[in-house]
Amino acid sequence: MNFEELPLAGAFRIDINPHEDERGFFARTVCEDTLAAHGLVSRFSQSSVSYNRSRGTVRGMHYALAPYAETKLVRCTMGAIHDVIVDLRRDSPSYLRAVGVELSAGNRTALYIPAGFAHGFQTLQDETEVLYMIDRPYVAGAARGVRWDDPALDVAWPEPVTVISERDLAFPAWTGLDPVV
């Protein structure tokens, strides 16, 4: 696994290191020891999948309140997404900065998202599936979101938004009042 630290403190792009032969290739996508050696959360208690029918679909921007803030490892297993994270940790040097990374079935890249970040994505193809590994069980009462188009977050979505849930549309602008970590 190859780790590239992103401009947001604690966030990483992780690429596979495939070993190829006549059959194709084999690659490790998660390794507890390797993640721990980089100082990252290395155990995940939940795995979830998001299937999206249409290109341009936006899901996000989601986060969870402390003490239930989630660390995630996200990979696109079918299709492609523009994955966006925003640092919501008030004491972080990258507070309210956003980064977008293209994740696709073709590039096999993963995004490591520390607790205290908002997360969302936009599908770049129809029939897109996203796999999430999450370090703690979901707690519905701690789930929150911030508007996908909040100017304070300065997120540049690459395509027009074609589908977004009523729930995501109803999220408020970021106030900085929520304790995310």
The residues carrying an active-site annotation are 62, 132
Phi first, then psi: what are they for 167, rounded to 5°? -60, -50
Burial 23-55, CB ≥16 within 10 A → b, else e: eeeeeeeeeeeebeeeebbbebeeeeebebeeb
Q: Report the Cα 65 to chain-centroid distance in Å.
A: 16
Would you state the structure tokens that stand for residue 76, as one six-digit string?
A: 């696109």
Q: How far apart are CA 89 and CA 32, in angstroms?
A: 25
Q: Running DSSP on this structure, what letter comes out for residue 57?
A: B
Coil/strand/helix, residue 168: helix
47 forms bridges with which residues in the sheet?
133
